[in-house]
Structures are given as C-alpha cells and as structure tokens.
Structure 1
Amino acid sequence: MSDWGESDSNSDENTAPRQYKERVDYTTTLNSVEFQMRFRLDKASVEHLLVEMPHLRVKGTRNHNVSPLHQLLFALRFYALGTMLLSVGDFIGVSKASACRIVRDVSSAIALLYTKVQGAIDCTHVRIQSPCAEIGEEFRNRKGYPSINVQAVCDSELMLMNVVARWPGSAHDVTIFDMSELKVQLETGMYGNKWLLGDSAYPLKPYLLTPLLNPESPGEQLYNEPLIRSRNCIERSFGVWKRRFPVVALRMRLRLQNAHAVIIATAVLHNICRLQNLEEVPPEVELPRIDRVPVPINNEGGIQLHREMLIANYFNNL
C-alpha cells in the first residue's frame, strides 16, 4: 500500500484491508496565529469562503472522503508553499491525482467569486513549467523562462480589482490590454470620467494616463510626480500578493488551465485578506526578486493633446 492511502495494485486490495490516517481538524488543533501562518487566512475567513462555495462537494468514496473544509485547507496550503503537489498531498493523505483535482476544483470555485472595477494597471509574470513543445516558446518571456503574463488592476487599498491570467509570457503588456474586456468597458465609457493609471509601457488614452518620459516644465513635473506615486500601488500589490501566496512567485508545476485558475483564486484570497485587514504573514520559502523593466512607448499623437490640456488647465496653476 502506498503512502497516499491508495492501492498500488489490485492484488493489494484483495490481500489486505486499507488503512487510512485520520485527518486532523486544523480549525481546532491550531491556534489563531498558527492557523493563519499555515493557511494565510484566518479561521473566520475560511468559514466564510466555505459558505460562498456551496458547489464544493465531498470527494472520494468509502470511508476516506475528503471534506470541503480539508479540500480548501489543502489548496490554501499549496498556495502558501508553492511546492510540488506530491509533497503537499501528504498534508491530508491523498494521491497526486487527487491533489491535482482538489487544487483545480477549489481554485475554480474561488475564481468564480471575482468582481471587477478600475484603478492602476500593470502586468507581472508568473512562472510555470514549460508547456508542450508546440507552444512552449510562446510562453517563454523576454527573461528566458516560461510564464503567464498576468494583467492586473488594483485600487489604493492594494485590492486586485481586475485580473487577466490567460496570456503567454511572450505577450506584450499592451497586447493584453488591447484584447481585454476592460479596454472595451473603458472605450464605451462604463467608468465615466475615471482614469486608469499606467506606466510608460502603455499608450496614452483619454481614460489611461501615463507619465511623461522627459518632463520639462514645472507643470509637467507636478503631473508626473503624483501619477507615479499613485500607480506605485500596483507594484506594492503584486509584492504583497506574491509574498502571501508564494505559489504565484515560484515556478508553478501545474497544467495551464489549472495554473490560470490558481492565479485568479489567489487574487481573490488576497482581496479577502485585505478586506479582513489580516496581517501579512512572512513566506515560509525563499522568493525570487520581483523586477520588471517597462518598455517605453511613443505617446505622440492626437491623444497627447488630452494630457497637455490636463497639465495646462490644472498642474500649471498649482
């Protein structure tokens, strides 16, 4: 019999009864600090999540079912460690195949809770294992490793309000934005007179403000300073998200569709932690440095007049 509580062959099943390790109720055996350290959320948030995911059903048959609570805790532990599923599987005593299904189902259920609004925009790369040879190079980013290029929008409270996690690492930030539902919403005026703040990788639009590459006048400098300071929230948000859930900072060893779901799910959980004002728990594993150099884009053209009028009518008078 294997360490996962599953038979290695049919003959094992006929010669010896299965023996299962009793699962621990971590909501009672761990105190509040230990629980949040291990699962990144507090007990109340976990209970609330379970209520919001009624379609998460008991898995397995016979006498060794995996309850929705244990499924959720397993997924949270995987997000917190970012390690191999086989290693985390021992946490609740399931096979690698069962672990994959649990992460897939829990991540998909959490991802359905997402809402969308507006704020500062940027992209960040999430490492993945190299896909099949036919599409592998498409996912190789400019730094040479396979990744998913994730577009996100956050607000001043570091909430991730809009996340797109389906583009390969070779995709340019602007391409992702141009093909996004968010751009359509902005083009049609869904957000009124609100602005999205981007860096120099993005084109200047009436609804998308970007910094001047070479500010000269005092008004231009006054325009740049608060814009850069305000959009810094997206970089901070990425940092908090990846430190809290290292699975999106390390190389994700999952199928592409499951990796997409995990990215969205951890973004939802990040927002729950922000809403609950939960302290940032230090990662249990060493994380790579998050660094990104934006690609400057020439913002010359008719749209530039919109920014010049904004500077002339407001910042030149300060």
Structure 2
Amino acid sequence: MENSDSDEDYDLLLRIVIQRRKKIVQCRPNFFTLYDEKDFRERFRLCKQAARDVLELIRPNIQHATTWNNSLSPEHMLAIALRFYATGSTQQLMADAAGVSISTVSRVITLVSHEIARLRKQFIQFPVAIKEIRKTQKDFFMVSKFPRVISALDCTHVKIQSPGGDHAELFRNRKNFFSFNVQTMCDSKLKILDVVARWPGSTHDSTILRNSKIGVRLQSGEFENAIVLADKGYENNDRVLTPLHSVTNEAESLYNESHIRTRNVVERSYGVWKRRFPVLSLGIRVACKKVQPIIVATAILHNICLLHHDSEAPSLPPEVDQQIIAALNIPNNRGSNGRIEKNAVRNDIINGYFSTL
C-alpha cells in the first residue's frame, strides 16, 4: 500500500482502520453488594458467607498481579464460575451477563474450578479417627437402625458433550448419552465423603470401586469393622453389603428394608447436589479434560453448603445409645483359614441382629 499511487486503495485502508472495533469494557457489577442474601443464594446456590469463605481460600491463586487491561477481580471470577455451575448455560450467555468475552469466561471457569478442586483434602474426607467412625455409625443407625454403617455408596452419570476422537464411544453410557460415571460415598447428613470422577460413562460401577483408592482402604480394614451399603450392582463381601435378591424369613425382610432406607441417603445426596448445581444434570459443555475439576469443585461446594446450614445432631437417649453400641459390636465370622467368608458378615448381621428385633 505504501507504494500504491491509488487514492482508492488509500481510502479503503483508511475506512478499515476507522471502522475497526474498539475494545469496550462493559459494566461489571459487584454481585456481593448488588444482591441481598436471598437473591444471591438464588443466583449462585451459595449463601454469601459460604462464597466469601471459598473466595478467601482461592484468592491468592486466582488474583491478577495488577489491574492492567481491566483485569477481573477474584470476586468477579468466582461469581462467573458459580453462575456457570448454577445454570449450566452456554459460555456466550455467561460472557454477556458478566460483561466479558467468551474466551475469558472459559479461562475463568477452568482456573476457578481447578483451584476449588484443590481444596478436596480439606472438605472431602472419610472419617478415620475412632471417635469420628463411631459418630458416623451412630448417625446412620438413627436412619433405619442398620448397624456398623460408615457410608452409602453409588455412582451417578454426569452428562457431557461428545469428546470426539477414536475413544468417544467409551463415554456413551447405557442410557445412550455421553457422560462421566462418578462414584461417591456419603454420610447420613448427605455430606460427600469420597468422590471418583475419572471414569467414562460406559464403565461399570463395580469396576470403579475395585480400582479406587477408597476401595483398597476399605478392604485393608483401615476403618475397623465399618461397612458400606451398596446396591445389587456391586459384589457383596465383608466390607460392602448389598441387599438380598430374595427373602425367606422376617429377619431377611427387615434387613432388606433397613438396607434400602439407609442406603437411600446417597440417592438423596445426588438429588440435592444436582439441583444445587444444574450443570451436572443439564450437561457440561466444555473440553473433556476440564470436566473433572468442575465435578470435584461442585462436590466441595456441596459440602461447604452443608457446613453452613447444618444443625447440631440431637443427643441420643441412653437406651438407644446402648442399643447402638451393642449393634456396632456384632463379631465378624471368619472361616478356618482366618479369612472372612463372602457372605458371612451379611449373615451375621441378619442372624445376630435383625432376627432379634
């Protein structure tokens, strides 16, 4: 163009420069001050104090060094991520609502999800101390009088977009949509004690348990005589108890009824978790490698919400407390080789406890 003598070429270039879009910085409201407690909770699914607590934990890792180029504040970044979890909307809508670009929304969701997921060891913990194990078992006993239960176990599918590539069909589950099969364990208060979010949707539930760290810890006897309740999709053994396929007497019927009522807490936890963060049920439309931190981050936020709304458990009457202690001390029936037989623990609980009710 410098060597061109054409006035038309020069005029064309001038018009292009003039018409080039200028960078527009839209208004970015402070949602912590804009909304009252009720409106904030409706939009972000957390109370303000819970959100502030999370913000202070991740602030050092998400805050920009300077405010050059109108960089987002940690408050705005957390709000974008929470709004994404709470709505499951497209990143275009998120960008329009937050007054930023789509690429910025994508980076913010990835960064914030990763930093919240790093809080996993702090907020997702299995009870280890004897006092904690006994407290968890007593709380489960109050649900439907099932002894020695430390957790309820199940898997749920979190919908994703097709990951593409040669291995995409591994993520298609039996319900014919793409997903991650996420294993969780929860206590009687719906708190998530363990989460495994790395298996594609076609993976069987029992395969996830066998290859998980918590499965190894259970079989090693780390939690004493504690047991976990699971559905019929799992193998019954000395640590994981499943319901009977058929009942022949009243004790077995009571076992099945109590098992179903007690294990139901994990199903309820999924309902609360997915209603609080609809992105888990509507579908996470991001790259496959970014899905796992989002799942773990929402599990952590779910537990944080429970911490901010839980009330103290009522004290137990002395006679009920003694009944629980007796139920917790049902012995394990070991074979001649010192190993527990496959169905021995289930039979001991049925014959030694439910037959006496």
- Give me the TM-score of the superposition, normalised by structure 2: 0.76
User: 1: CA distance between counterparts of 2:155 and 2:20?
Assistant: 55
Secondary structure, aligned partner of 1:107: helix
Deviation at 1:116, TM superposition (A): 2.5
Alignment partner, residue 88 of structure 2: 82
Q: Are 2:191 and 1:191 aligned?
A: no
Pairing 1:28–2:67 present? no
Q: 1:258-316 CA deviation, whole Å, 9 max, x = no partner?
A: 111111111111111111118xxxxxxxxxxxxxxxxxxxxxx9411221122111111
What CA distance in whole angstroms lies between the structure 1 residues aligned with 2:184 and 2:94? 28
Which residue is equivalent to 1:177?
Answer: 209
Looking at structure 1, the residues matched to 199 and 72 of structure 2 have their Cα atoms a distance apart, in angstroms, of 33
Q: Which amino acid is 1:189 matched to?
A: G
Alignment equivalent of 1:253, drawn from 278, 281, 285: 285
CA 95–268 in structure 1, closer or farther in 2 if over 3 Å, else same: same
1:98 and 2:130 equivalent? Answer: no
Q: 4+ residue runs of structure 1 moved beyond 4 angstroms? A: 11-17
1:26-64 deviation line (CA, Å, top 9, x unaligned): 111111111111111111111111111131222896331
State, as a whole percentage, how many aligned pairs show the same letter: 42
Cα 1:13/1:34, change in 2 over 3 Å: farther
The counterpart of 2:296, out of the listed 260, 264, 267, is 264
Greater helix share, structure number: 2
Aligned to 2:264: 232
The aligned length equals 286
Assess if the C-alpha contact under 8 Å between 1:59 and 1:65 holds in 2: no
How far residue 161 of structure 1 moved from its aligned partner, in angstroms, is: 1.3
The 2-side partners of 1:196 and 1:305 are apart by: 15
CA RMSD of aligned residues (A): 2.0
- CA 1:201–1:25 in 2, change beyond 3 Å: closer, same or farther? same
Aligned to 1:55: 61
Q: Which amino acid aligns with 1:77?
A: R
Aligned to 2:141: none
Structure with greater contact order relative to length (CA < 8 Å, sep ≥ 6): 1
The 2-side partners of 1:13 and 1:213 are apart by 76
**Partner Cα distance (1:127, 1:28) in 2:** 34
- The answer (yes or no) to whether the contact 1:245–1:266 under 8 Å persists in 2 is yes
2:176 match: secondary structure: coil
Asked whether the 8 Å contact 2:62–2:74 carries over to 1, the reply is: yes
1:46 aligns with 2:51: yes
Within 2, Cα distance between the matches of 1:197 and 1:60?
Answer: 51
Cα deviation code 1:78-104 (max 9, x no counterpart): 001101112111222222222111111
After TM superposition, the score normalised by the length of structure 1 is 0.85
AA partner of residue 109 (structure 2): V
Q: 1:72 — aligned with what?
A: 78
Q: Which runs of 5+ in 1 are unaligned?
A: 1-10, 279-300
CA contact (8 A) 2:155 2:181 kept: yes
- Please tell me whether Structure 1 or Structure 2 has the larger radius of gyration of its CA atoms: 2
CA contact (8 A) 1:59 1:66 kept: no
Distance 1:272 1:217, change over 3 A: same
